[in-house]
Structure 1
Amino acid sequence: MALPAEKVSELKQIIHNQLSQGDVQRRIREMLSESMQEDLGGQGNLMGEQEMFNRLKQRGVVDNILQQIQFDGGTNGQRPATHFTDKDNMLRSVGDKKTNIDPSRRYLYLYIKAGKAFLEHIEENNGVPGQVASYFTFHILFRGQRFKSRPVACACEPDIDEGFLLELHKDGIGDAGKMADATTMLSISDPIHVVLIKTDASGDTTLVSSHFLEWRPVLTSSSSRLTTYLELKGTGSESKVSAGVIDIQVELFPKTKQALSNEVITAQIQLERGRHAEQERLFLVYAKQWWKEYLTIREIHKERLVKIFAQDENGNNRPVCSFVKPLRAGRLLDTAREAARFVSLTHQERTPTLGGGGRTEQWTTMHAFLCRNKGDCEDHATLLCSLLLGFGLDAYVCVGTKAKGAVHAWVMTISVDGLVTFWESLNGHRYIHEPLDPNAPPMDKQHRPKYPYKTIGCVFNHQSFYANNQPTDNVAVCQFHLRDEARWKSMSHDAIMSVCGSSSTPLWPQFPPLCAPSIDPSLASNDLEQQLRILVTEHRRDMGLTTMWDDQLSYLLTPSLAAYETERTTGLTPGNEEFQDSIKHAVPDGHTFKGYPIQFSHRNARKAFATCLRSPVCEEIIHCRGDHVRLGVRVRVYPYPESACATWIMFACKYKSII
């Protein structure tokens, strides 16, 4: 079949561009010159076109050109690439579209073929034939690059078949013009963070495994390809138990000219681990001495919540300062209050435990927390503090207790003028702190502090740590002059930076960039609204009631929902005079209007409807009886980064009042 003229022209242009970019024209001329001198002995014999083509093919020039040109048709041996050049979305998902690689750059290709021995999932998806009850998703982080696999049905032996193309030059501007050689790659100590998430039929997520893959053994392969089995461990209390095994392949593009020996790789890795162990040991020695000095000040200090170390999902003890780092959201978040709104929409869940007992504390690494989209108060606080630091604020994570004595973490910012503001990361609320006089008479209920915090033991960020050194740790009377050693005992800045500072071989996992929202707010809002209409209609039919929907009334509810979200995001209450006026025009004389707004952080219609029915006001609207009853419902989904969303729903009805 002949190609159209415009396609032929386009193909010629592509070939011309590739020849120019790869400097292939010069190589062809050199090859021809060498061939004529070596093979023809300078006798001037003419070389045929086919012979010329065969010689170029033998030298690898033809294969090099074909590899650089992108075709739409699939070919055998083609690997599924997950690298896209979308600069606005930092998260790359698998698609049908193939992509080229820059021949002047070095890439690392991670291919996950299949899994086995996921024993907890033997009985998965055995209920309804053809229906997937739950699925796995792999998330990859490497040097600031994030990837997400397509969903794979949970099974004992899941068929994953997924590939990820990782750039080795991601950060260095000066490296853009040269190829990373074996020595350069040997010095890149960043591991590949592999996170496995399980999502059930209701959308609930579980962190199955969080593994840091050492990729540099591929440098010892003469073919620049390494195939192996990788055992994934569980998390939390199951961090020593195998969650499953995956069959992986790691490959370098282009291939290295000379492989390194196993001894060199082993020596480099051991040298780095030894250096890290020594840094951790020195910091531990310092922390012990610092804590001993702190206890000598007051005996009661041993009861305060001074949290120096915390355990992550893999059971590693880390300084709490390593969980915080200035995080810039790019163009995904515009203000600090919008960042607080985003963090509050990330689901909260305490770390699950086996058996009874107290609360199990687990501080999740940032990448795993964002992939799971769920975590405890410490995870929310460290994320919010990192975002506020990114916005240039003087922010700290606070560790203390709430009103009922429960251990809690929240965020504090201190302005240039000394104004202290508490940020509750779980709901986005802000509280101004004004210290009280402990010798003053008791206050009435109206003038008591509005924040729910009772005591505070320490505050910290990525480069500072302060323990409460005041006679009482009651938040209401605490002074937050952190530079005052009489009130706050500080750790050495150099000691903290020795284990938490940025270096060529960082001790702890790097922070991932935020990824853009992946949902269309208009489509998501319309879809959820239609589902709710069906649920209400069926619910009223079961009660023997007919349902009449008023589309105009539903549309008029939109400004109210927009005002609610604006208030949550900015803290300012916009005027709603226009909304009230429109409702008055839409409701005739002698009729009554009722409305019920509610906000969720998910888009599950049945779950939202069941929650709404538990409200007496909403139940009265949905069960409304009378003359000229008209119902309205409006849904507005506001997407945020990392698949977080604020879902506003408002049910309303108008009916003729009967005296």
Structure 2
Amino acid sequence: IVIEKHEDYCLKNCACHSYIRKNWLGSIVFPFSALLQQSEFTDQTDVLQRAQFFKKNCKIMFPNRRIITTVFNDEGTQILVTRYIKALNPPRQLLDSFLHDSNATLDLIARFVSLIPFMPDILDENGGCDIWITSERCISLALGNKEEHAILLCNFFLYFGKKALVLLGTSLLEGHVAYVLTQEPDEYWLWNPSTGQCHKQFDPFCPLQSVDCLFNDSNVWFNIQQNNTPMAVHFDYSKESFWKQLFPNSFQGMKIQSIQPEEIIYSDTNKSMVEDLKNRIERTLKCKIMEWRPKHPTRWNRQCTSILRQLLPKLELGTGSFVSSEKESEFERLMQFYWVAGFPIQMRYTDVQSVVDAVYQTGIHSSEFPQTEFALAVYIHPYPNNILSVWVYLASLARHR
């Protein structure tokens, strides 16, 4: 600051003295990391604009096909979908179940992902306002949408060294879906994260109706083949005549940093809580079944109930044997005196009412045959982070005349 000082006894034009005084007003520090982030932000903005332009062009070519290039994370930042893909560790409990059978391990992992409850998509997909959480967050909340389930399953498969991508398409049964595509030695497999089922590409029973888009950790591919049914699609996404890619081959060597953690830390599920929940569901179902039969008495067959309780844990573990030889002989003796009708229900746990509704829809309780007896067994298999597999077996027994 330059200050001019004039003496009072001197005319202004004949005496003038200048002084320099420093006044501290504050300071601003620019860390070097901030400068780097600013450069990265500029690059990221260019990439996001490229992704939006790519999506717009794809929609012009095939308006009815699905494509997602960017989403918002849980902090409200718009990012590429490729940043969600990264190899992540499944729970150790699953890895130790089938030490010498990798295919059985993959099936179990797909089953585990399917047990995570689904969250409905609240925001409009076509508006580009999807909000996705990380796989770690999906596990900790025990909740996720269709795409988050597919991303989690894809990341687990990558942990095993599988060549896996997330597939966006439509299903005859579920509408918009996200599957996982794995490239096997001689074929491609399609994994449904909502059911845990795996279908080969030419499986006529696969519910997938259209294959619209693929993405992994490095790129997004849009299907530009005229026929997009799974059986007709050429899944070799390196062929530019079949797949339009977001980034050119020269760009794919530049890895964009993933938002996923280095690993997922799992927590054990409280077994006493699971036991209390099982007893509560069983009591609730028995009360409901009696309410659903107001004009008929409800009798319970303890022998059959005991057999069913032995059966359900074996079904969860997929051992292939229903009961022990002793229990099997008991069941055969029971069949000599009763007509037995019933089947097990398996479902992910969300709340007790969902279990009640599933049992009611079977209609087994509505038997009006005289002297009908019932057997009910409930089993809950705990997985890490309070992810539960619920089994219910309701059977009706009518005595032979």
SS in structure 2 at match of 1:457: strand
Instruction: Choose the corresponding residue for 2:190, options 414, 422, 429.
Output: 422
Corresponding residue for residue 141 of structure 2 = 372
Residue 585 of structure 1 pairs with residue 346 of structure 2: no
TM-aligned CA distance change 1:656 to 1:402, over 3 Å: closer
Corresponding residue for residue 348 of structure 1 = 118
CA distances 1:300-327 after superposition (whole Å, capped 9, x unpaired): 3565433222233444221111111111
Count of residue pairs brought into register by the alignment: 362
Residue 267 of structure 1 pairs with residue 28 of structure 2: no
Asked if 1 retains the 8 angstrom alpha-carbon contact of 2:71 and 2:129, the reply is: no
TM-aligned CA distance change 1:559 to 1:610, over 3 Å: same
Instruction: Choose the corresponding residue for 1:317, options 72, 78, 87.
Output: 78
SS in structure 2 at match of 1:332: helix
Corresponding residue for residue 574 of structure 1 = 320
Instruction: Choose the corresponding residue for 1:638, options 366, 378, 381.
Output: 381
Identity %: 20
Instruction: Choose the corresponding residue for 2:278, options 509, 513, 528.
Output: 528
CA distances 1:267-307 after superposition (whole Å, capped 9, x unpaired): 35633531330230342465478679x76xx9735654332
Asked if 1 retains the 8 angstrom alpha-carbon contact of 2:218 and 2:252, the reply is: yes
Shift of 1:648: 0.3
Asked if 1 retains the 8 angstrom alpha-carbon contact of 2:153 and 2:180, the reply is: yes
Asked if 2 retains the 8 angstrom alpha-carbon contact of 1:280 and 1:499, the reply is: no
Asked if 2 retains the 8 angstrom alpha-carbon contact of 1:553 and 1:632, the reply is: yes
Amino acid at match of 2:393: M
Residue 468 of structure 1 pairs with residue 223 of structure 2: yes
Residue 554 of structure 1 pairs with residue 310 of structure 2: no
Corresponding residue for residue 107 of structure 1 = none
Amino acid at match of 2:134: T
**Counterparts of 2:31 and 2:254, CA distance in 1:** 23
Instruction: Choose the corresponding residue for 2:179, options 410, 416, 420.
Output: 410
**Counterparts of 2:165 and 2:363, CA distance in 1:** 41
CA distances 1:446-491 after superposition (whole Å, capped 9, x unpaired): xx82222222222111134333243433332111123333323443
CA distances 1:48-93 after superposition (whole Å, capped 9, x unpaired): xxxxxxxxxxxxxxxxxxxxxxxxxxxxxxxxxxxxxxxxxxxxxx
Asked if 2 retains the 8 angstrom alpha-carbon contact of 1:532 and 1:605, the reply is: no
**Counterparts of 2:123 and 2:60, CA distance in 1:** 33
TM-aligned CA distance change 1:566 to 1:525, over 3 Å: same
Which residues of 2 match residues 490-505 of structure 1 at below 5 A?
490=245, 491-492=247-248, 495=251, 498=254, 500-501=256-257
Asked if 2 retains the 8 angstrom alpha-carbon contact of 1:613 and 1:619, the reply is: no
Amino acid at match of 1:602: Y
TM-aligned CA distance change 1:493 to 1:555, over 3 Å: farther
**Structure 2: stretches of 5+ with no match in the other structure:** 1-25, 96-104
SS in structure 2 at match of 1:477: coil
Amino acid at match of 2:181: M
Asked if 2 retains the 8 angstrom alpha-carbon contact of 1:399 and 1:456, the reply is: yes
Instruction: Choose the corresponding residue for 2:159, options 366, 384, 390.
Output: 390
SS in structure 1 at match of 2:107: helix
Corresponding residue for residue 240 of structure 1 = none
SS in structure 1 at match of 2:189: strand
SS in structure 2 at match of 1:347: coil
Residue 276 of structure 1 pairs with residue 40 of structure 2: yes
**Counterparts of 2:166 and 2:288, CA distance in 1:** 48
TM-aligned CA distance change 1:329 to 1:262, over 3 Å: farther
Corresponding residue for residue 21 of structure 2 = none
TM-aligned CA distance change 1:580 to 1:376, over 3 Å: same
Shift of 1:263: 5.0
Instruction: Choose the corresponding residue for 2:211, options 445, 449, 456.
Output: 456
Shift of 1:610: 4.0
TM-aligned CA distance change 1:420 to 1:375, over 3 Å: same
SS in structure 1 at match of 2:378: strand
TM-score (norm 2): 0.76
Corresponding residue for residue 480 of structure 1 = 235
Amino acid at match of 1:452: P
**Counterparts of 1:359 and 1:318, CA distance in 2:** 12
Corresponding residue for residue 94 of structure 2 = 333
Shift of 1:385: 0.7
Shift of 1:341: 0.6
Corresponding residue for residue 595 of structure 1 = 342
CA distances 1:334-375 after superposition (whole Å, capped 9, x unpaired): 222111111111111223359xx9997432333433333222
SS in structure 2 at match of 1:594: strand
SS in structure 1 at match of 2:343: strand
Asked if 2 retains the 8 angstrom alpha-carbon contact of 1:464 and 1:493, the reply is: no
**Counterparts of 2:174 and 2:347, CA distance in 1:** 28
Asked if 1 retains the 8 angstrom alpha-carbon contact of 2:55 and 2:69, the reply is: no
**Counterparts of 1:285 and 1:310, CA distance in 2:** 13
**Counterparts of 1:375 and 1:280, CA distance in 2:** 26
RMSD: 3.7
**Counterparts of 1:514 and 1:625, CA distance in 2:** 55
TM-score (norm 1): 0.48
Amino acid at match of 1:582: E
TM-aligned CA distance change 1:637 to 1:449, over 3 Å: same
Residue 656 of structure 1 pairs with residue 367 of structure 2: no
Shift of 1:549: 4.0
Asked if 2 retains the 8 angstrom alpha-carbon contact of 1:400 and 1:457, the reply is: yes
**Higher RCO (C-alpha 8 Å, min separation 6):** 2
Asked if 2 retains the 8 angstrom alpha-carbon contact of 1:550 and 1:631, the reply is: yes
Shift of 1:400: 2.0
Shift of 1:643: 1.6
Amino acid at match of 1:340: A
Corresponding residue for residue 35 of structure 1 = none
Asked if 1 retains the 8 angstrom alpha-carbon contact of 2:68 and 2:81, the reply is: yes
Asked if 2 retains the 8 angstrom alpha-carbon contact of 1:529 and 1:633, the reply is: no
Amino acid at match of 1:327: L
Asked if 2 retains the 8 angstrom alpha-carbon contact of 1:533 and 1:633, the reply is: no
Amino acid at match of 2:121: T
**Counterparts of 1:365 and 1:611, CA distance in 2:** 31
